[in-house]
Amino acid sequence: MELIQAKTVAFTGHRQFVATDIFPVQVALQRMISRAKERGYNSFISGMAIGVDQWAAGIVADDPDLRLIAAIPCKEQYKKWPKSSQRYYFHLLEKADNVCYLSHRTYYHGCMNDRNKWMIDRCSLVLAVWDGRSGGTCHAVDYALNQGITVLNFDPTTASYKRLQPVRTR
């Protein structure tokens, strides 16, 4: 499946939330995906991790006008997850339009970062759920901005949206 970078979105976001934060984040993802669709985006790449990645993938998978690309960072990514999360993961993989295994190795240090770079290198917009803390989401946002990609961020601590402008243009 060929991706058209100008019409492709990648997701990044936190994996763990307080239970009361889950619904607002899911609503924010629905809103951001709908806005991207209105602007002509039709392909969405998810790293398929628990949390934001899977919630976003589920929204995309349920829309017949959108394509879901699952970017799997390593073999057996799901191995240490709860059984319910594993079942949802495989359900989403079945619904995905394309599943890309970026490595057939088991988990290795840096595989999530490699996955994030792969996704960002193939998109023109990143939808993020990020509260400003350091970590994998922060690295993904920084990488996107340094690659000239706009990031639309939902901050779950303030329930606010902000467009983060790239450091340079592509």
Higher pLDDT, 8 or 4: 8
This prediction's pTM = 0.94
> 42 is in which domain, residue-wise?
5-164
Q: Decide if pLDDT at 47 tops 80.
A: yes
Query: How do beta strands 160-164 and 125-129 pair?
Result: unpaired
For residue 20, being part of any structural domain is answered with yes
Model pLDDT, residue 3: 78
For residue 125, being part of any structural domain is answered with yes
- Which CATH number covers residue 158? 3.40.50.450
* Mean of pLDDT values over 109-121: 96
Q: Count the neighbouring beta carbons within 10 Å of the beta carbon of residue 112.
A: 18
For residue 169, being part of any structural domain is answered with no
CA distances (Å), origin 74, targets 14, 44, 157: 19, 19, 31
* Helices within 47-163 (DSSP H only): 52-61, 83-95, 111-120, 136-146
For residue 170, being part of any structural domain is answered with no
Total structural domains within the chain: 1
For residue 97, being part of any structural domain is answered with yes
Q: Decide if pLDDT at 17 tops 80.
A: no
> Left (φ > 0), alpha (ψ -120 to 50) or beta: where does 24 sit?
alpha
Please state, for a pLDDT cut of 70, what percent of the chain lies above it.
Answer: 94
Residues contacting 123, CB < 8 A, separation 6+: 5, 8, 9, 10, 45, 149
